[in-house]
Amino acid sequence: MNTTAAATEARVTTATIRIWCRRGVIAATKHAGRWIIDTASLARRIAIGAMKTPIRKAATFTIETMTAIGGRRWQKNGMDRVYLNAFETVPGLELSHYKSGSISGASLDGNLISNAEGARLATAVDKVYFDAADSKVHIKWGWGRPRDLSRDQIADRIFTSVRAAITAL
């Protein structure tokens, strides 16, 4: 088998095949300035590459997946939404409370933050929902204006955690 046929079969470039031949990754001999490649060796190399690349399941935003991760479906006046109540808090935020309900300690990603900043982060997001009309996850912002994280950073954290929950299904 020549380098062009091997590259087509392995779905790589001919330059990659030549590099594999020179480095001894696949068994090959050079005759009259051209590489002659052993098909069994090439098949082994293709199998190794297939084992190393796991198939990643893409996160698809549908009503079924949103309800599967704990969302509650709501339909009214032509609107079809799934509210994701588990994702209303900022991921990475940990709060501890006194019996009265006041915040006694706050940390973000394991780093201590002030109790006031913890309260601002806790009230930064009011609702997180999936709208079936446009197939997007939306965030309704609360009244808290945190100083440690911007709204874009909070949104990235929430969207990442939603995608992670969907891929974990």
State the first-to-last Cα distance of the chain, in angstroms, to the nearest integer: 43
**2-51 residue pLDDT tens:** 889 988 988 889 999 999 899 988 899 888 888 899 889 888 888 887 66
Q: Contact 76/42 with Cβ under 8 angstroms?
A: no
- Residue 139, SS3 per DSSP: strand
Half-sphere exposure for 75 (CA within 13 Å, toward CB): 5
Q: What is the pLDDT of residues 148-163, one digit of tens each?
A: 889 999 999 999 999 9
Query: Residue 91 burial by CB count (10 A; 0-12/13-18/19+): exposed, middle or buried?
Result: middle
- Position 71, amino acid: G
Domain boundaries, the chain: 3-52, 63-167
